[in-house]
Amino acid sequence: MSNPEKLKSTKEHSLKFIALAMAYQSSTGRLLLGGSDFKIYSVDPAAAKLEFTELGKHESYVTGLALVGQTLISGGYDGKLTWWDVAAGKEIRSVEAHSKWIRQVVASPDGKTLASVADDMVCRVWDVASGKKIHELRGHAERTPTHFLSMLYAVRFSADGKRLATADKVGKIVVWEAASGKQLQVLEAPGFYTWDGRQRIHSIGGIRDVAFSPDGTHLAACGIGHIGNIDHLDGPARLEVFDLTAGKSVQLFDKTRHKGIINRLHFAPGGEWLLGVGGAGNGFALFFDLKGKKIVKDENVKFHVHAAAFNDNRDTLYLAGHHGLAIFSLKG
């Protein structure tokens, strides 16, 4: 049984690259990592010393990984989605999916469809088996209110696979019907966006990830709060929760001891906690109890965390990011 209050570090590994995406392979207990050196690796996290088996590479940063059975789909700043046979260690197909940087790639709970988002401000939904495009979802402006290019960071399916949500730099969230591609709901979270129109003429922030509660009633969004100096991540780590029935924000966490950005979210299967990971210089892992409106565990991590994954029992947590991979036990 997983218990965040029992969280403890069990092993740390150094990486020669920045890990930006990670997936856990149930059949082997191995991790798949992609990042700043353009490559995708398979590693055994239990090994005393990591050995990196290269699966393939993109032409730029690897920013998204989604594993469906023995098939891995990767997305990168080169705008491509590539399908890989992990067991055979070979490429299946590659698709010119987006005209700008891909930010996130996720598979539906049943593994039949895949969603990708990129800085072309489009979410595309794909058939995993054939690689063919099913939907093209356009609900985010290409430019910010101050006429700068925007970014589309986040996409996630609901647990039942019936909806998906996308979120952008200026804090706009769109909820879609997965089967039809119909727009269902729009939520606004401008607190994730900072615009400096005086000194730097520049903006920063954005919703970096979203997650539906397991029962589908709420949606959590994460990122960073208002930033005083936009050249640094000196704003508060920020989590905002929306009631989807009421269509409004109902909880806000931005008074943690951490400055920095929450990059990824993971709900416990029963919804008893929500994990947010991220960082600024160093990193953190925050476990939120949304029902109790409190943080139940606040853990420092030695590196800025970009990705998180659990084993099947949810009692082992893997964190990867700036030149590091850390393993934690949650056994109660």
Burial of 329 (0-12, 13-18, 19+ CB in 10 A): middle
Whether residue 266 has pLDDT greater than 60: yes
Whether residue 21 has pLDDT greater than 60: yes
Query: Are β-strands 218-224 and 248-253 bridged in parallel, bridged antiparallel, or unpaired?
Result: unpaired
Whole-structure pTM over 0.75, yes or no? yes
User: Band of the pLDDT at 203, cuts 50, 70, 90?
Assistant: low
Whether residue 263 has pLDDT greater than 60: yes
Residue 318's pLDDT is 98
Rounded Cα distance, 278 and 262, in Å: 4
- In percent, how much of the chain has pLDDT > 70? 95
Residue 231's pLDDT is 62
Rounded Cα distance, 41 and 38, in Å: 10
User: Band of the pLDDT at 147, cuts 50, 70, 90?
Assistant: confident
User: Band of the pLDDT at 111, cuts 50, 70, 90?
Assistant: very high
When pLDDT is averaged across residues 181-205 and rounded to a whole number, the result is 82
User: Right CATH number for 4-15+68-329 from 2.60.120.10, 2.130.10.10, 3.30.360.10, 3.40.50.150?
Assistant: 2.130.10.10
Going across the sheet that includes 163-168, the strands are 152-157, 163-168, 172-177, 183-188
SS3 266: strand
Residue 202's pLDDT is 59
pLDDT in tens, 69-99: 999 999 999 999 999 999 999 999 999 999 9
When pLDDT is averaged across residues 115-137 and rounded to a whole number, the result is 98
Question: What is the overall mean pLDDT for the chain?
Answer: 95
SS3 152: strand
Rounded Cα distance, 320 and 283, in Å: 10
User: Band of the pLDDT at 197, cuts 50, 70, 90?
Assistant: low
Please list the residues that pair with 253 across neighbouring strands: 239
When pLDDT is averaged across residues 228-239 and rounded to a whole number, the result is 78
Rounded Cα distance, 284 and 303, in Å: 8
Query: Are β-strands 30-35 and 39-43 bridged in parallel, bridged antiparallel, or unpaired?
Result: antiparallel
Q: Where are the domains of the chain?
A: 4-15+68-329
Rounded Cα distance, 266 and 254, in Å: 18
